[in-house]
Amino acid sequence: MEKFKSIAIIFLLIVGFLAVSNTTFAKNPMRITTEENVVSVHTDQRVLLRYCYENVPFKPYVQQLFSPRGVNVLRDAPSDHQHHHALMFAIAVDGVNFWEEQQAPGRQAHRSFSNIRIDKRGDGASFTEQLGWVNPRSQELLLKEHRTIKVYQPKDFEATVLSWQSSFAVPSGKKSVTLTGSHYFGLGMRFLKSMDTGGQFRNAEGKIGEVVRGDERLVRADWCAYTAKANGKVVTVAMFGHPDNLRHPTQWFTMTKSFAYLSATLNLHREPLKVLSGKPLALCYAVAVWDNRVENEQIENVYKWWVNSK
Residue 41 — pLDDT band, cuts 50, 70, 90? very high
122 within 8 A of 29, measured Cβ to Cβ: yes
DSSP symbol at 278: T
Closest CA to 78 of 168, 159, 194: 194
Q: What is the pLDDT of residues 193-218, one digit of tens each?
A: 999 999 999 999 999 999 999 999 99
Please state the domain count of the chain: 1
Is 16 among the domain residues?
no
Q: What is the CATH number of the domain that holds 280?
A: 2.70.98
Asked if residue 9 belongs to a domain, the reply is no
Residue 274, domain member (yes or no): yes
C-alpha 64/C-alpha 227 separation (Å) is 18
**219: β partners:** 252
What range defines the domain where residue 203 resides?
32-309
**3-class secondary-structure state, position 215:** coil
- 178 located within any domain: yes
Whether the predicted model's global pTM rises above the 0.75 cut: yes
In a domain, 76, yes or no: yes
- 6 within some domain: no
Structural domain includes residue 26: no
Q: Any idea which of 5-19, 225-239, 279-293, 296-310 has the lowest mean pLDDT?
A: 5-19
Residues counted in the chain: 310
- pLDDT score at 45: 77
Question: What one-letter code names the amino acid at 182?
Answer: S
- Residue 146: phi and psi, rounded to 5, are -110, 115
Assign 297 a pLDDT band (cuts: 50, 70, 90). very high
